[in-house]
Amino acid sequence: MGALSGEAAEKKLARGIDRTFYFIAELLRKLFNVIGKFLGALFVILGTFTVIALLAALFNVADVIHFGADRWSASMDIYEWGEIVFDSSEWLIASVAGLFLLVGIPFIALAYSGLTLLFPGNRIPYLGTALFGLWFLGLVLTIFSGFSILKSFSKEETVIERYALEELGIRQDTLIIRSGSDPFNISASRGYSANRDFMIKLSDDKVTRGNLEFTIMEMPSKRAVVEICKRSEGATFDQAQSKAEAINYSFENDSNTLIFNPFFTFPSRDLLRAQELTIHLSMTEGMVVFLDESSKRIIKDIPNVTNIYDPYMTGHYWKMEKEGLICLDCEEIEKSDAQNEGIKEVSIQVNID
């Protein structure tokens, strides 16, 4: 009887263990089933939303490229962007189709995976193979259209226009630098930072860029000269030079004041080929320049003896010496720097104590 009761106890314990593991297995199965349903719904929503957004961009329903700087902003659809980048409509269509397939197919596959998680019995035969084939086609189209664009940027040329200040009628030793009217409506206080943003306006016959750089030559020259450096890229050196020469820029002078426009234009037919414009002012030793507050919109990397940051150079007079530009009225900046250094020293001493 003792042996039988022992066997019965063992069988009861075994049944209890089996039921426990069965319960755990069922709980995990239901848990994973719930997680699978949740992931399936998430995949369907994410994939469907992305594909709809791509279709909206493809059929020109929504603008997908946005630019902004300070109080200016603009939006462009992919075809407006493509018209100033691609030199043929065929390459534009190939690029758009390639990008849609390259980006859209993975999200279509994601939505399909979500449906299979929600409805395990519903599968479409060979759909995975078809989607991979379309994705590979998109990859090929994107690569070839990318190479066609890169070829258009393979060469670069720079055209320099020089204007002696004497020829402009400026014979005084003190210059005033200002920025002209701004079609992008950038505020004076945000001019320096906004000039680092990409600013562009399109019209039927020309493209307007709101980014250029003005600097002062570090070494004094024998002759005060303004150099307008126009740069562009192209498939050949001749094309690059032609596009650089087509850049249109103007500035004004009034007595001892130079007014530089904060934008330049070029023909739309030249397309966007990394056109850039830089202004160099070469000053003779002993000349003085005053940087008006509005010049924040155009200045960049002006070397000076005291290494004062570009935006803080405005509103002050600078004299060209052998060693470079020296500020004539920067006592307040130097005093502020000295106070900041003193604060740093105090804080360091406190930390050490």
Name the residue type at position 85.
V
Separation between Cα atoms, residue 229 and residue 207, nearest integer Å: 18
Q: Can you list the positions of beta strands (E) in 114-217?
A: 155-164, 174-179, 200-202, 206-209, 213-216
Q: Which residue has the higher pLDDT, 82 or 237?
A: 237
Domain residue limits, the chain? 12-151, 157-341
- Quickly state the pLDDT bin for 353 (edges 50, 70, 90): very low
**4-8, 9-13, 69-73, 345-349: the lowest-pLDDT one:** 345-349
What does DSSP assign to residue 269? G
Asked if pLDDT for residue 18 goes beyond 60, the answer is no
pLDDT for res 261: 95
Q: How many residues does the chain have?
A: 353
Collapsing DSSP to helix, strand or coil, 226 comes out as strand
What does DSSP assign to residue 258? E
pLDDT for res 352: 36
Separation between Cα atoms, residue 67 and residue 251, nearest integer Å: 26
Query: Which whole number is the average pLDDT over 248-273?
Result: 93
Name the residue type at position 127.
L
DSSP characters over 63-118: --EEEEETTEEEEE-HHHHHHTT-SSHHHHHHHHHHHHHHHHHHHHHHHHHHHHHH
- Quickly state the pLDDT bin for 142 (edges 50, 70, 90): very high
Query: Which whole number is the average pLDDT over 219-230?
Result: 84
Q: Which residue has the higher pLDDT, 185 or 68?
A: 185
**29-38, 51-60, 131-140, 195-204: the lowest-pLDDT one:** 29-38
Q: Specify whether the CB–CB gap between 266 and 246 falls below 8 A.
A: yes
Asked if pLDDT for residue 222 goes beyond 80, the answer is no
Collapsing DSSP to helix, strand or coil, 286 comes out as coil
Which residue stretches of 122-273 are H helix? 127-151, 191-194, 237-245
Q: Specify whether the CB–CB gap between 72 and 186 falls below 8 A.
A: yes
pLDDT for res 220: 65
Asked if pLDDT for residue 319 goes beyond 60, the answer is yes
Query: Which whole number is the average pLDDT over 186-198?
Result: 87
pLDDT above 90: percentage of residues in the chain: 41
pLDDT for res 281: 94
